[in-house]
């Protein structure tokens, strides 16, 4: 969940609503809202609704719900064009943009623009890897623009908040944003320049000081670059809609001679029967249409038109969810299922019972991983199932062990109260799939004796014939490690995590752990 904060006054600039009405309505719409001690509205936004990562998007949701009418947008053709060079194909291939005219840059809008860029970069943009956004005062530069890749020392310009020119190489080494995101740039650097060669932006790192947006700006140019065409378009649509809500006039640019459409509607069949079947309520076409309109969709005849800023509607069930939200979850009457079923415990239930009884908390971590995580845990290299088209470098293989994931969890929670005792029952691929149990305990007195006691306790609780034999294994301290045998077959290892592995995960407390095949 992303956290969004703004003042009630900022919200009331965009929609007529009282404080408590805003809190209650937004919470009902799926955006839990509360008032902070500082008097700000704190709104939680789920990842599927990036359009609500700004006060304008939140106000739009309130306005549509209160009026029962969708927010509609239009754009005319812009004389602004962008040439996307082939040199970016292997660097950062996707580009999108729009122009916004006659905008009034109020303090609340500037605050909102800063916040929405940060939130979109972190969520939709996957920390700028998937999408990076730039907003520029177009009055300071001369179209047409060019998007291309250059060498690290070929160009120099004044980056945002700096006073001297720097090359991309200097920015990546000395500028705060450059050092933070240098890992996203290799030998070639993406660059956006105007007709005179002046630099607007070095995506995904930093904009140029030349096009910095101030209170005097009237016309804006939006650029979005990334590795996903869909995500880039979503980012442009969200920014275009929020600036239109502030009174801006939208224009569609051309890219390599072709119009780049923004905020286009997508047509869906009105899901009346499907909604009634799935929700178990007789609604009728008129009520379904009214509910969808309250959630921002345009309904005409037997069709529902989803607005371009909504990135979350990918299936009929997403529209049905909006029907349920507008109907109100508290208005559904609970009923007893018509079919009687008999439940039973999962085979791994015994392990859960035993470990919970020993004070352990269950965690669920990613089944996709990368070789670097296993290396940090000092696991020996093993054959892994590779992902053919990984979206990020973090998820390139199907995990071959669970222990590295548990060490990552401990690293994330190392400042929490000790002891931290966690376990996971999950799947690994080596390359055949198998189910494993992994256990980890972190506190000042974590030891081999502790983890041995846990394993023997599991054996007693489940009736398994577990035998512990002397052995050595990469992640563990030599002499403080043992092999686990189940039914006479080697099933795993246990022991005290080696200092080098602890250091790799920046853990400052001893950890004892075990992993075995079930």
User: Which CATH number characterizes residue 154's domain?
Assistant: 3.50.40.10
Q: Answer with the one of 259, 274, 295 that is the final residue of a domain.
A: 259
**Rounded-to-integer distance, Cα 345 and Cα 387, Å:** 33
Q: Answer with the one of 67, 86, 101 that is the final residue of a domain.
A: 67
Q: Is residue 342 in a domain?
A: no
Q: What is the mean pLDDT of residues 270-294?
A: 95
Q: What is the mean pLDDT of residues 418-436?
A: 91
Q: Inform me whether the pLDDT recorded for 393 exceeds 80.
A: no
- Greater model confidence, 140 or 353: 140
**Rounded-to-integer distance, Cα 261 and Cα 254, Å:** 9
Grade residue 351 by pLDDT with cuts at 50, 70 and 90.
confident
Grade residue 129 by pLDDT with cuts at 50, 70 and 90.
very high
Split into its structural domains, the chain has a count of 4
**Rounded-to-integer distance, Cα 247 and Cα 104, Å:** 8
pLDDT of 69: 94
Grade residue 348 by pLDDT with cuts at 50, 70 and 90.
confident
CATH number at residue 502: 3.30.930.10
pLDDT of 219: 96
Q: What is the mean pLDDT of residues 133-141?
A: 97
Shared domain for 118 and 191, answered yes or no, is: yes
Q: What's the burial of 38, exposed, middle or buried (CB within 10 Å: 0-12/13-18/19+)?
A: exposed
Tokens of residue 505, six digits: 């995960």
Shared domain for 59 and 80, answered yes or no, is: no
Residues 6+ apart with CB under 8 A from 180: none
Closest CA to 33 of 13, 52, 14: 52
Shared domain for 253 and 270, answered yes or no, is: no
Q: Which domain holds residue 25?
A: 2-67
Sign of CA dihedral 481, 486, 492, 496: negative
Task: Work out the percent of the chain whose per-residue pLDDT is above 70.
Answer: 100
pLDDT of 350: 83
CA torsion 117→121→125→130, rounded to 10°? Answer: 110
Tokens of residue 69, six digits: 């009418």
Q: Is residue 353 in a domain?
A: yes
pLDDT in tens, 201-213: 999 999 999 999 9
Q: Answer with the one of 211, 240, 259 that is the final residue of a domain.
A: 259
Shared domain for 446 and 494, answered yes or no, is: yes
| 3-state SS string for 353-415 | HHHHHCCCEECCCCCEECHHHHHHCCCCCCCCCECCCCCCCCCCEECCCCHHHHHHHHHHCCC
Grade residue 342 by pLDDT with cuts at 50, 70 and 90.
confident
Q: Is residue 334 in a domain?
A: no
Residues 6+ apart with CB under 8 A from 489: none
Contact assessment for residue 67 and residue 59, using Cβ atoms and an 8 Å cutoff: no
pTM: 0.73
Shared domain for 27 and 139, answered yes or no, is: no
Tally Cβ neighbours within 10 Å of residue 8: 16
Residues 6+ apart with CB under 8 A from 171: 159, 177, 178, 202, 205, 206
pLDDT of 337: 79
Q: What is the mean pLDDT of residues 366-374?
A: 91
Tokens of residue 45, six digits: 């936004």
pLDDT of 335: 84
Read off φ and ψ for residue 51, nearest 5 degrees.
Answer: -65, -15
Q: Inform me whether the pLDDT recorded for 366 exceeds 80.
A: yes
Shared domain for 453 and 482, answered yes or no, is: yes
Mean pLDDT of the chain: 93
**Rounded-to-integer distance, Cα 365 and Cα 348, Å:** 17
Shared domain for 90 and 180, answered yes or no, is: yes
pLDDT of 432: 84
Q: What is the mean pLDDT of residues 317-325?
A: 96
Q: Inform me whether the pLDDT recorded for 1 exceeds 80.
A: no
Shared domain for 255 and 275, answered yes or no, is: no
pLDDT in tens, 31-85: 999 999 888 999 999 989 999 999 999 999 999 999 999 999 999 999 999 999 9
Q: What is the mean pLDDT of residues 229-249?
A: 96
Q: Inform me whether the pLDDT recorded for 391 exceeds 80.
A: no
Q: Is residue 57 in a domain?
A: yes
Tokens of residue 27, six digits: 């919470």
Q: What is the mean pLDDT of residues 395-415?
A: 92
pLDDT in tens, 432-485: 889 999 999 999 999 999 999 999 999 998 888 899 999 999 999 999 999 999
Tokens of residue 1, six digits: 């969940």
Contact assessment for residue 95 and residue 224, using Cβ atoms and an 8 Å cutoff: yes
pLDDT of 167: 96
pLDDT in tens, 157-184: 999 989 999 999 999 999 999 999 999 9
Cis peptide, bond prior to residue 144, ω within 30 of zero: yes
Q: Inform me whether the pLDDT recorded for 347 exceeds 80.
A: no
Q: What is the mean pLDDT of residues 395-419?
A: 92
């Amino acid at each position: 969940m992303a956290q969004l904060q703004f003042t009630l006054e900022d919200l009331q600039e965009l929609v007529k609503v009282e404080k408590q009405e805003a809190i209650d309505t937004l919470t009902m719409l799926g955006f839990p809202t509360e008032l902070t001690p500082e008097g700000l509205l704190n709104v939680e936004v789920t990842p599927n609704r990036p359009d609500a990562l700004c006060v304008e998007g939140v106000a739009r949701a309130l306005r549509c719900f209160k009026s029962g009418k969708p927010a509609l947008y239009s754009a005319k053709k812009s004389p602004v064009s962008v040439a996307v060079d082939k040199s970016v194909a292997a660097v950062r291939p996707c580009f999108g943009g729009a122009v916004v005219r006659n905008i009034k840059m109020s303090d609340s809008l500037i605050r909102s623009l800063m916040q929405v860029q940060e939130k979109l970069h972190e969520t939709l943009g996957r920390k700028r890897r998937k999408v990076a956004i730039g907003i520029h005062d177009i009055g300071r530069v001369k179209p047409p623009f060019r998007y291309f890749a250059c060498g690290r020392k070929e160009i120099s310009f004044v980056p945002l908040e700096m006073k001297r020119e720097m090359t991309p190489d200097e920015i990546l080494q000395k500028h705060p944003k450059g050092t933070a995101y240098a890992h996203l740039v290799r030998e070639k650097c993406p660059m956006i320049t105007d007709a005179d060669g002046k630099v607007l932006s070095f995506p995904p790192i930093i904009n140029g000081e030349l096009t910095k947006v101030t209170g005097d700006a009237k016309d804006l140019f939006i650029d979005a670059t990334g590795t996903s065409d869909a995500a880039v378009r979503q980012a442009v649509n969200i920014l275009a809609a929020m600036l239109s809500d502030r009174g801006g006039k939208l224009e569609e640019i051309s890219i390599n001679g072709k119009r780049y459409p923004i905020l286009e509607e997508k047509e869906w069949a009105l899901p009346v029967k499907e909604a009634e079947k799935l929700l178990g309520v007789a609604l009728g076409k008129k009520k379904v249409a009214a509910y969808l309109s309250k959630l921002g969709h345009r309904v005409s005849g037997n069709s529902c038109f989803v607005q371009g800023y909504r990135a979350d509607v990918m299936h009929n069930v997403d529209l049905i969810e909006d029907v349920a939200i507008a109907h109100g979850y508290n208005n559904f009457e609970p009923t007893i299922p018509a079919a009687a079923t008999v439940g039973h415990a999962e085979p791994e239930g015994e392990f859960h019972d035993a470990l919970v009884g020993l004070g352990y908390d269950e965690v669920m971590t990613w089944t996709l991983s990368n070789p670097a995580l296993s290396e940090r845990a000092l696991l020996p290299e093993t054959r892994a199932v590779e992902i053919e088209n990984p979206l990020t470098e973090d998820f390139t293989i199907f995990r071959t062990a669970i222990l590295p994931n548990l060490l990552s969890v401990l690293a994330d929670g190392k400042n929490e109260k000790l002891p931290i005792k966690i376990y996971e029952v999950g799947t690994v691929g080596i390359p055949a799939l198998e189910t494993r149990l992994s256990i980890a305990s972190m506190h000042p007195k974590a030891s081999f004796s502790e983890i041995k006691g846990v394993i023997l306790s599991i054996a007693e609780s489940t009736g398994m014939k577990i035998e512990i034999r002397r052995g050595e294994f990469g992640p563990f301290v030599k002499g403080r490690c043992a092999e686990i045998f189940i039914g006479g077959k080697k099933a795993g290892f246990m022991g005290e995590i080696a200092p080098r592995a602890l250091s790799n995960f920046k853990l400052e407390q001893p950890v004892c752990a075990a992993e075995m095949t079930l």
